[in-house]
Amino acid sequence: MKRIGTFLLALMLALAVPAPCFAAVDEKTVEAPSAVLVSADTGAVLFEKNAHDRRSPASVTKLMTMLLVAEALDTGKIKLTDTVTGSANAASKGGSQIWLEVGEQMTVEELLKAVVIASANDACTALAEFVAGSDGAFVQCMNDRAKELGLQDTHFENCTGLDDTAKNHFSSAYDLAVIAREVLRHNWITKYATVWLDSLRDGKTELNNTNKLVNTYDGITGLKTGTTEKAGFCLCATARRDGMQLIAVVLGAKTSEQRFSAATALQDSGFANYRLVTLSADPKKITQITVKNGVQKILNPAVPAKQQLLCAKGSGDPTYEYKLKKTVDAPVRKNTRVGTVKVKLDGKTVAELPVYAGVNIDKTAFWSVFVRFLRTF
């Protein structure tokens, strides 16, 4: 029940976003066949243009590689200091690279920097092999993770995004934004994505960031570029201002400048038109509930967790209406819904925060009731 309630809340929060008032951006402004702007905080879609079209994502594919590596690091499966030995398969990858040699050893962190900053295909493959045991096994993990995220328009054939021989390698602007949102949950990775210039091999190999917005856009946090003849010029640009983070994905632009201009226009419009509000119920108004025939006579409901809502700039502050049950019958199970906090914005209900029982309360046994009855005499 709680999972369903959480889903409905997320849906309402997404639907609560008012109709876009994009004065600065429209489909003509975004000079790319496919694009999307998504709130990293709530998942709400703020702008879309053919956002579910299946296209070659080029090296923006590496968002999924970055996600799986980040998850492996955060779970302790691998460490940044682990040593990775370059394989013949990794060393053979063309395109962007750090010229990894067969048998050469680098740390996970060095390879990760090469992937995030310079989009190195050889480093990407070496990491994939280290995490999953083989390139193919890692690609299977990528597709499995895509299914877990509910991505409907994504299938990977490799971890790099090289598409000269790939026949069934695709994603969509929306799906890539979903992956990017997951990557940003591991916010430490942005320290690599915002580096403009770095090096490996004691300064002998330069790492130049392929995302020029890192050097020019206020609040930029990353995240990944991609370019092939088949895919065109692609970009996933993320930025944070005033506590709000946005994800702009642009696919298939004709020139590099067009992808950066489109992403900039999308981000600018999002920051100009929206603000992030934290929804927080007042604990003093989450009142006690009487329990009938329970081993405990009073239930103290759990205070709803704080949620975030994307609102149009210029809208009023949210107000709250509290509706809780006065009595419940035992037994009461933890996470049973016992009330609702309605959130209103400018007089309209924009979200509902479910209130749940915080503990289990069993029903009073027959003999306990009987003994209590006898004590009345």
Residue 141's pLDDT band (cuts 50, 70, 90) = very high
Express each pLDDT in 267-321 by its tens digit. 999 999 999 999 999 999 999 999 999 999 999 999 999 999 999 999 999 999 9
From the list 49, 62, 93, 224, the catalytic residue is 62
Take residue 290 and report the two structure tokens written for it.
């009487």
In the set 119, 171, 172, 269, the catalytic residue is: 119
pTM: 0.87
- pLDDT score of 107 more than 80: yes
CATH number of 31-276: 3.40.710.10
Over residues 321-339, the mean pLDDT reads: 96
Kindly name the residue from 34, 39, 56, 59 that is annotated as catalytic.
59
34 is catalytic: no
pLDDT range class, residue 364, cuts 50, 70, 90: confident
Q: Decide the pairing of beta strands 289-292 and 327-329.
A: parallel
Which residues in the chain are classed under CATH 2.60.410.10? 280-374
Q: For 223-259, what is each residue's pLDDT tens digit? A: 999 999 999 999 999 999 999 999 999 999 999 999 9
- In three state form, how does the secondary structure of 129-154 look? HHHHCCHHHHHHHHHHHHHHCCCCCC
Mean pLDDT of the 108-119 span = 98
Q: N- to C-terminal Cα distance for the chain?
A: 44
Q: Is the pLDDT of residue 97 over 50?
A: yes
What share of the chain in percent tops pLDDT 70? 90
Chain-wide mean pLDDT for the chain? 92
Q: Is the pLDDT of residue 14 over 60?
A: no
Q: Helices 108-118 and 121-132: crossing angle, nearest 10°?
A: 140
What pLDDT was estimated at residue 267?
97
The 8 Å CB, 24+ separation contacts for 21-28 are: 21/273, 21/312, 22/47, 22/269, 22/273, 23/269, 24/265, 24/268, 24/269, 24/272, 25/265, 25/266, 25/268, 25/269
280 is catalytic: no
Residues of the chain with CATH 3.40.710.10: 31-276
pLDDT in the model for residue 20: 44
Q: Which CATH class is domain 280-374?
A: mainly beta
Contacts 24+ apart (CB under 8 A), 95-98: 95/59, 95/121, 95/160, 95/162, 95/228, 96/59, 96/120, 96/121, 96/210, 97/121, 97/122, 97/123, 98/122, 98/123, 98/200, 98/205, 98/207
pLDDT tens-digit profile of 48-64? 999 999 999 999 999 99
The answer to whether 62 is a known catalytic residue is: yes
Residue pair 80/186 in contact by the 8 Å Cβ criterion: no
- Split at pLDDT 50, 70, 90, the class of 24 is low
